Amino acid sequence: MPGLFQEVSIGGITAPNRFVRSATFEGMAAPDGTCKEELVELTAELARGEVGTIIASHAFVEPRGRVRRSQLGIHRDDLVPGLATMVAAARDNGARIIAQLAHGGCMANDPDGELVGPSVFSRADERMSRELSKAEIGQIVDDFRAAAIRAMNAGFDGVQIHSAHAYLLSEFLSPFFNKRADEYGGSLRNRARIHLEVYEAIRKAVGDDVPVLIKMNSNDFVDGGFAQNEMIEVSKMLAREGIDAVEMSGGTPLSPPNRGFSRPGVQDPAEEVYYLDAAKQFKDNVDVPLVLVGGIRTYAVAESLVEQGVADFIALSRPLVREPHLVRRWHEGDLASSTCIHCNQCFAPARAGEGIYCVAAQREQQKPG
145 membership: H or E segment, kind and range: helix 134-154
DSSP per-residue letters across 149-215: HHHHHHT-SEEEEEE-TTSHHHHHH-TTT----STTSSSHHHHTHHHHHHHHHHHHHH-TTS-EEEE
CA 204, 209, 210, 211 torsion-angle sign: positive
**Closest-CA residue to 100 (of 282, 315, 258):** 315
Q: Which pLDDT does position 166 carry in this prediction?
A: 95
Quick one: 292 exposed, middle or buried, by C-beta within 10 A (0-12, 13-18, 19+)?
buried
Round to whole Å and give the CA distance between 301 and 269. Answer: 7
8-344: which CATH architecture?
Answer: Alpha-Beta Barrel (3.20)
Q: Which residues pair with 116 in a beta bridge?
A: 130
DSSP state of 257: G
Q: Which pLDDT does position 271 carry in this prediction?
A: 87
Query: What is the residue-level pLDDT of the chain in tens, covering all 369 positions?
Result: 579 999 999 999 999 999 999 999 999 999 999 999 999 999 999 999 999 999 999 999 999 999 998 999 999 999 999 999 999 999 999 999 999 999 999 999 876 778 999 999 999 888 899 999 999 999 999 999 999 999 999 999 999 999 999 999 999 999 999 999 999 999 999 999 999 999 999 999 999 999 999 999 999 999 999 999 999 999 999 999 999 999 999 999 888 877 777 777 788 888 899 999 999 999 999 999 999 999 999 999 999 999 999 999 999 999 999 999 999 999 999 999 999 999 999 989 988 889 999 999 888 887 765
Length of the chain: 369
CB atoms within 10 A of CB 231: 24
Q: Which pLDDT does position 4 carry in this prediction?
A: 97
- The pTM (predicted TM-score) of the whole model is 0.96
